[in-house]
Amino acid sequence: MQLEVAAALDHDVADVYLPEEEAQIILMQGASDANLLRAEAAQLDSEKQIFGDAMRNAFRSSTQRFSSRSERNKLGREWFRDPVPVVRDWAIDYMRRHRKDLRLPADEQTWPAPEMLATIWGDRAYWCAHISRSHQNDSPAKENDYADWRHYVAAMYADDLIVEDGGFRAIAEMCPPPKPRVLRLAAWVEEILRSPDA
């Protein structure tokens, strides 16, 4: 059977590894099962809410911990001086809390460096940078920050992250390497057009 989805995506049918029956069920349910679509939307809303609440709580607790504006500015300067130890500390803490899920051995000396784990590094780097930037602007999370966070973590496996949104770009640029290059669309296109293969 020719899968319309594969054709629409300009993929060879051989790239789709679903049995014909399963592919048909997915296509039919996706088109006809409104409950599935509502459940997907509800899940996304729930994740956005959880993320927003977590960011607001982190902002609030760090604001309480560093109550004066000068203390928060000092924290921001420390971040800009060398963010790597901050992100590494947060990443290792995450690895400790999720050691069994990550199937890490009990001996931390045998663990990979957090920088080698792209998803964890990107996740913790984004959180740290977001909190630091929030303090600079005295503003907790905005609704689109959830999508920005997901995009940033996914981009850890890419060479380039193309960002037009100024707030998202500022956070992505604050994150320490390893990370993708952060570029505006015009700069990325210009670079491609200048390449010898263009």
pLDDT at 79 over 70: no
Q: Which residues contact 62 (CB under 8 A, 6 or more apart)?
A: 72, 75, 131, 135
What's the rounded mean pLDDT across residues 8-17? 39
Helix (H) or strand (E) holding 162: strand 160-162
Q: What is the pTM of this model?
A: 0.66
Q: Mean pLDDT over all residues of the chain?
A: 77
Tell me the pLDDT tens digit for each residue of 108-156.
999 999 999 999 999 999 988 888 777 666 666 666 778 888 899 999 9
More confidently predicted of 13 and 179: 179
CA distance 80 to 129: 10
- For residue 32, pLDDT over 90 is answered with no
pLDDT for the residue numbered 9: 37
For tokens 């998803």, the residue is 119
